[in-house]
Amino acid sequence: MFEYLLNRKLKIVVVGDVFVSPETMAEAVKQSPLEAGEIVSCFWGKDDKQNFTERQINIERNGPEAESYAEGLDEAIVDADILFTHFSPVPRTLIEKGKSLKAIFTCRGGLEHICIEAASNKNIPVVNVIRNAEPVADFVLGLIIALTRNIAVSHRGLMEGKWMKNFPNSEFTTTLSQLKVGLAGVGNIGIEIALRLKALGVTVIAHDDYISKERLEKNGLSDMMLVSSLEDLFRESDVVSLHLRLTDDNLKMINKKYFSFMKPTAYFINSARGGLVDQEDLIEALKSRSIAGAALDVFDSEPLSSESELLSLDNVILTPHIAGQTVDAIPKAPFMLMKEVGKIINNGVTDRIVNYENILNDRLK
């Protein structure tokens, strides 16, 4: 596979942005097995991280047609062999203009910004990379401990001059090993979380319509129990953590129905996508204490409004969409992607090639 990219000079178009520069992407290409005869650099969006975030959310919810792509791509794509992007949209119209396009690379796990169907129709493989599975897994583990052991709320109390010893969950606060953690979705992040929890002696259960026993065995999780439905996961877990992609079908899927299944001693964590949750239903569950608490790194609208009722609750931890942010996760992503390209060229195999037939089943994060 990809033999046609070897032994020839390629025109490679790299599209960077405020988080991943075109210069970094070009350097990753130069260090790869690919021979670039020409590298054309484009920049998507503004040099403004808030603007990027707003456009990112729009694309994640509405697809690659929702935002304009980088300036200069109309001309550059016509005779390009490879398009290498971070988050710049790659809609159908752009793909159709790529008369010589052989592959599309993206240095992120999500694929909402690329029209996979159009690429597949032209037999153009899309290769992506999971750049932040470990940072997010570390973060979620931290949220579980901070939430169940009142670390965040007691810190806030001390900052307000309160010496707190009693909490709403004091009667059922327990050690980590006594909790049953339920993972809704077992992609790369879910697997990393499960491995961390397993090492700490925590019982982990999961629901994922697409995970295979072979993949669990390959990652040392053959003994992890899979439950048959999301409803069962919410009923049985002491902590529910979401790790799903946001699609038209699951927008605000986690609503009062699912919160009603949870134990009053159970906790809810969302570090995936804010749009998965009906935020008002979650607020009601927290206010009524029908669940013990929640930790949220993502919201239905970002940044979180200063008027949000979430800010007034004492049983929730709120963080500003930072679970995947470490000094190395995003900047190293282009180089991680080129390692995947090297695997394809050298071994002919990788699990990072996506096409339209498997995109709906892709749980990788």
pLDDT at residue 365 is higher than 50 = no
Question: What percentage of the chain has pLDDT greater than the value 70?
Answer: 94
Task: Clarify whether 92 is annotated catalytic.
Answer: no
pLDDT at residue 355 is higher than 90 = no
pLDDT at residue 363 is higher than 90 = no
Summarised one tens digit per residue, pLDDT across range 210-268 is: 888 888 998 999 999 999 999 999 999 999 999 998 888 899 999 999 999 999 999 99
Considering the candidates 273, 340, 352, 363, report the single residue annotated as catalytic: 273
This prediction has a pTM of: 0.78
Task: Clarify whether 245 is annotated catalytic.
Answer: no
CA distance linking residue 267 with residue 237, whole number of Å: 9
CB burial of residue 317 (10 Å; 0-12, 13-18, 19+): buried
- Cα separations (Å) of 315 from 78, 148, 154, 291, 292? 54, 10, 11, 9, 7
Task: Clarify whether 96 is annotated catalytic.
Answer: no
Residue 362 pLDDT: 40
Summarised one tens digit per residue, pLDDT across range 155-208 is: 999 999 999 999 999 999 999 999 999 999 998 899 999 999 999 999 999 999
Q: Of 274, 267, 262, 260, which Cα lies nearest the Cα of 308?
A: 274
CA distance linking residue 182 with residue 262, whole number of Å: 11
Residue 358 pLDDT: 45
Considering the candidates 321, 340, 352, 363, report the single residue annotated as catalytic: 321
Domains, the chain, in order of start with CATH, read 3-131+330-359 (3.40.50.720), 133-318 (3.40.50.720)
Summarised one tens digit per residue, pLDDT across range 33-74 is: 899 999 999 999 999 988 998 899 899 888 999 999 999 999
DSSP assignments along 84-131, one per residue: EESSS-B-HHHHHH-TT--EEEESSS--TTB-HHHHHHTT--EE----
Residue 353 pLDDT: 63
